[in-house]
Amino acid sequence: MNLLLLGLFLSFFRIGFFGFGGGYAMLALMEFEIVQSHGWLNPSEFIDIIALAEMTPGPVAINAATFVGYRMAGLGGAVVATTGVIFPSLLLVLPAGWLAARYREKKGLQGVLDGIHPAVISLIALAAFVLGKEAMLDLKSYLISGTCLLLLMFTGIHPLLLIVLAAAAGLLFYL
Amino acid sequence: MKKEKEKEDIRVKIGEMFFTFLKVGAFTIGGGYAMIPLVQEDFIQRKKWLTNEEFLEILGIAQSLPGPVIVNFSLLAGYRLKGFKGGLFSLLGAILPSFLIIMIIAAYLWGYGENRAVQAAFQGIRPAVVALIISAAIKLGKGTLRQRHTFLLFLLFLGTLLLFNVHPLAVIVAGALAGFVKPYFKNRQGSAEE
């Protein structure tokens, strides 16, 4: 039990510590820790958590930490996992804020941040590939995904409305 | 005189900041980024706690650091206005609503496994989630992948990730290194041309 709590804390600490780019960019890392390394969730449960995070308030990393922690070890697990994911920010944010204010103009730091950008976007694309493998099982799912992408790119549709529509499409196609 | 007024403002701030982030945390659906415009409105337009420049500077730092953006942002903004305690309470306000809501769902509502209608709905939702992620990549890429070298780096990283199953951290480190050494190459080229 205590080992499980420690494992939860360390995993979510790593997610927080190495999760550059926030939100979707952290998904690949979360998938690696939660699904691949520990098998705490299976791949479709993991996608459902992301959907849940889209439908409920708050950042997806916090939602996933709370959910996985609770499922694995009850209230204590939820607290430990959520603390794990925010702990790196507590450690880093203040010194980093000070450093950034001091070295903002220096080219080295700006270059590093510029180099991290394409890496972050490649991680988001990776998450789409990894989760797509699990979500796209037939032609209908490609149809849903394609329509959603067009709506997202060309209308200002709210993600919540998009998910409600997709749920309706799911009922229509699969029930 | 001005100092005294500031002090008075500061006395209400921790509680007010907590409730501002609590409200934003409870009512913004769609991830951490969706929360930013609401904080912007409250902090800049209504309460005038931060100037626009300060807000953008804090947001820039929050986005550059690892971890959820709203976690970093609430800590930094709270710290800027009222020290470490301010940062801590802002953070608590921002994450408490999602923590409680997810707890309730995990405890009481997650027994859907057997329900066929819920399963069908989620089968439709999963492809939509993939579309959301793709659109996030496209929207972010539009800004930063315009330059040829960043686009090449992106292709290289994505190819490596897909083909070799490397740890996600590897491309972050590689990107940071590439960004760090690039100015030196540029300088050398520049001096060679002269």
Cβ <8 Å between B175 and A152:
no
How does DSSP assign chain B, residue by residue?
-HHHHHHHHHHHHHHHHHHHHHHHHHH-BSSGGGGHHHHHIIIIIIS--S-HHHHHHHHHHHHHSSS-HHHHHHHHHHHHHHHHHHHHHHHHHHHHHHHHHHHHIIIII-GGGG-HHHHHHHHHHHHHHHHHHHHHHHHHHHHHS-SHHHHHHHHHHHHHHHHH---HHHHHHHHHHHHHHHHHHHHHHHHHH-
pLDDT of res. B32? 59
Q: How far is A153 from chain B (nearest CA, A)?
A: 7
Report chain A (175 residues): mean pLDDT per 10 consecutive residues: 88 89 80 89 85 79 90 92 92 77 65 80 85 87 94 84 89 90
pLDDT of res. A46? 87
Q: Which of residues 15-34 of A touch B (CB under 8 A)?
A: 16-24, 26-29, 32
pLDDT of res. B191? 42
User: Cα–chain-centroid distance for residue A60?
Assistant: 5
Nearest Cα residue to B149 out of B117, B179, B115, B116 = B179
Tell me the per-residue pLDDT of B95-115, one tens digit each, with 9 for 90 and over: 999 899 888 888 877 765 667
Q: How far is A127 from chain B (nearest CA, A)?
A: 7
With contacts defined as CB-CB under 8 Å, which chain A residues touch B67?
A: 16-17, 19, 22, 61, 85-86, 88-89, 92
Q: Which of residues 120-149 of A touch B (CB under 8 A)?
A: 120-129, 131-132, 134-137, 141-142, 144-146, 148-149
pLDDT of res. B12? 56
Taking the complete model, does pTM exceed 0.90, yes or no?
no
pLDDT of res. A84? 94
Separation of alpha carbons B140 and A116, rounded Å: 13
Number of residue pairs across A and B with CB atoms under 8 Å?
350
Cβ <8 Å between A58 and B25:
yes
Spans of chain B, pLDDT less than 50: 1-5, 7, 189-194
Cβ <8 Å between B145 and A119:
no
Assign 3-class secondary structure to chain A: CHHHHHHHHHHHHHHHHHCCCCCCHHHHHHHHHHHHHCCCCCHHHHHHHHHHHHHCECCHHHHHHHHHHHHHHHHHHHHHHHHHHHHHHHHHHHHHHHHHHHHCCCHHHHHHHHHHHHHHHHHHHHHHHHHHHHHCCCHHHHHHHHHHHHHHHHCCCCHHHHHHHHHHHHHHHHC
Cβ <8 Å between A128 and B68:
no
Q: Tell me whether 0.85 is exceeded by the ipTM.
A: no
pLDDT of res. A80? 95
With contacts defined as CB-CB under 8 Å, which chain B residues touch A120?
A: 140, 172, 175
Q: Map out the domains of chain A as residue ranges.
A: 2-135
Q: Between the CA of residue A111 and those of A104, A108, B28, B182, what are the distances in Å? A: 11, 5, 33, 7
Q: Map out the domains of chain B as residue ranges.
A: 1-109, 115-142, 145-194
> One-letter amino acid identity for A18?
F
